[in-house]
Amino acid sequence: MTDVWEDVVGQEDAVARLRAAATDDAAMTHAWLVTGPPGSGRSVAAKAFAAALQCSGDPVADEVAVAEVRAGTHPDVTVVTTDKVTISIDEVRGLIGLAQRAPARGRWRVIVVEDADRMLERTSNVLLKAIEEPPPRTVWVLCAPSPQDVVVTIRSRCRQVGLRVPSVEAVAELLVRRDGLEPGLALESARAAQSHVGMARRLARDPEARARRRRILESAARIRGVGDAVLAADDLVETAKAEAAARSEERDAREKAELLRALGVEAGATVPPALRAQVKQLEEDQKRRATRQQRDSLDTAMLDLLSLYRDVLVVQLGASGDVALVNEGAEELVRSLAESSTPEQSLHRMDAIGEVRQRLAGNVAPLLALEAMMVALRPQV
């Protein structure tokens, strides 16, 4: 029998609790809140839990059920995720109806909400009723970075499972075992991604992603003055835009073609006025998705820069013997930056990066915010 928990790495305590709940009805409850830092495997854990709940003990049937949950085709498991900035209230209203239905095959109907933190308060309140008075065989599994990201009324109705940051070795081991990657590369990627499983996987598998990360780190070191800083910020925003566009262009076009076909509009023909609203709606959704992707990709770049200055600070404080560097591949860069600045400056720079991350979440103009950050990163006497 396949082990549903094998992909949940470095989370022994959480797995033990979830495993117990899946096998023993006395340890079960109707709503769970899985929390943990990004990349710790919240959604993987939630899906593994969903799969475990669909297992009945019969090895053959279980294997089919687990495969179905993994493929996202199991009738009793619904995974809600969003690639936009927030989950809309209409999507959640749809879930409320779904939650009232009895499971079709298994013992439980499981609804996994992957981005429970991406809900506005009024959207959460819609969800609240369903979580408060649940039908007997429905289980909600919400995922969020921290319990504080979910409104208190929902938090208090869920049992919490906290995940921690898995160790670099555990992540590397997973990459080697699951994706068949070379151990050295897996370890380096896991370290560079700071144990973020998805990111480590992307870095290890995609040479382009590694090159992009490297470019971002080097761009910080290349800034000589204010002019360079502004140009570097421009570069970074353009790269993020291009990346978001490259990722979504094909998909956007396909979605639009599908919609037009569903509406009965021939390719190339003008859309009748009565149907334009639907096309516009789709385009707006796609635009929101692009915003989110651009923000995510900028945030990743910020995290990379933050890790660079963290390493610089480690070297400056003479702790490099005790603490491993995140960016071992870029050690020269780290050392040269460490020599040319003071620990105070490194801290100021990390503050500046942290501030920009916070501001970007607040819908500021990304280019301006990054310019200010790059200006703070320039060499100062």
Site for other proteins in 322-381 (CB under 8 A): 359, 362-365, 367-369, 371-372, 375-376, 378
x-or-dash string of contact with other proteins, 185-224, rule CB under 8 A: ---------------------------------------x
Closest by Cα among 121, 166, 147, 198 to 32? 147
**Of residues 230 and 265, the one with the C-beta less far from other proteins:** 230
Distance in Å, CB of 352 to other proteins, minimum: 9
**Of residues 318 and 362, the one with the C-beta less far from other proteins:** 362
Site for other proteins in 224-253 (CB under 8 A): 224-231
**Of residues 152 and 368, the one with the C-beta less far from other proteins:** 368
Distance in Å, CB of 336 to other proteins, minimum: 21
Q: Name the token pair of 368.
A: 């301006």
Distance in Å, CB of 236 to other proteins, minimum: 14
Distance in Å, CB of 307 to other proteins, minimum: 23
* 75 sits near other proteins (criterion: CB under 8 A): no
Number of residues in contact with other proteins under rule CB under 8 A: 21
Distance in Å, CB of 86 to other proteins, minimum: 16
* Contact residues for other proteins, defined by CB under 8 A: 224-231, 359, 362-365, 367-369, 371-372, 375-376, 378
